[in-house]
Amino acid sequence: MDWELLGQGHLDKMRTEHAQPVAYGLPLDDEIIQLNDLVGQTLRIAYTGQIHCCHCGRKTKKSFNQGFCYPCFQKLARCDSCIMSPERCHYDAGTCREPEWAEQFCMTDHIVYLANSSGIKVGITRINQVPTRWMDQGAVAALPILRVATRQQSGLVEDLLREQVPDKTNWRKLLKGEVEYVDLVSMRDQLLDNAWNGIVALQKRFGINAIQVLDDADLYEFEYPVEEYAKKAVTHNLDKNPVVEGCLKGIRGQYLLLDTGAINIRKFGAYHVEVSRLAD
Task: Quote the CA–CA distance of 263 and 249 in Å, as a whole number.
Answer: 12
Q: How confident is the model at residue 101 (pLDDT cuts 50, 70, 90)?
A: very high
Task: Report, as an integer, the average pLDDT of 128-144.
Answer: 97
Task: Quote the CA–CA distance of 79 and 42 in Å, as a whole number.
Answer: 35
The proportion of the chain whose per-residue pLDDT surpasses 90, expressed as a percent, equals: 95
Handedness of CA 93, 98, 102, 103 (dihedral sign): positive
What's the start-to-end Cα distance of the chain, in Å? 10
**Residue 263: its pLDDT value, please?**
98
Q: Is the pLDDT of residue 280 over 90?
A: no
The per-residue pLDDT for range 151-204, each reduced to its tens digit, is 999 999 999 999 899 989 999 999 999 998 999 999 999 999 999 999 999 999
Residue 136's identity, in one-letter code, is D
Question: Would you say 227 and 35 are in contact if contact means Cβ atoms under 8 Å apart?
Answer: no
**Residue 1: its pLDDT value, please?**
75
**Residue 228: its pLDDT value, please?**
96
Domain boundaries, the chain: 3-71+224-278, 74-221
The proportion of the chain whose per-residue pLDDT surpasses 70, expressed as a percent, equals: 100
The average confidence (pLDDT) of the chain is 96
**Residue 197: its pLDDT value, please?**
97
Q: Is the pLDDT of residue 106 over 90?
A: yes
Q: How confident is the model at residue 13 (pLDDT cuts 50, 70, 90)?
A: very high
Closest CA to 84 of 109, 97, 68, 65: 65
Please report how the helices 151-161 and 196-206 are oriented relative to each other, as an axis angle in degrees rounded to 10. Answer: 160
Task: Report, as an integer, the average pLDDT of 123-151.
Answer: 97
Task: Report, as an integer, the average pLDDT of 64-90.
Answer: 95
Task: Report, as an integer, the average pLDDT of 39-56.
Answer: 98
**Residue 45: its pLDDT value, please?**
98
Contact partners, residue 122, CB within 8 Å, separation at least 6? 112, 113, 114, 158, 161, 162, 165, 166, 167, 191
Length of the chain: 280
Contact partners, residue 103, CB within 8 Å, separation at least 6? none
Task: Quote the CA–CA distance of 177 and 118 in Å, as a whole number.
Answer: 8
Q: How many CB atoms lie within 10 A of CB 110?
A: 26
**Residue 102: its pLDDT value, please?**
95
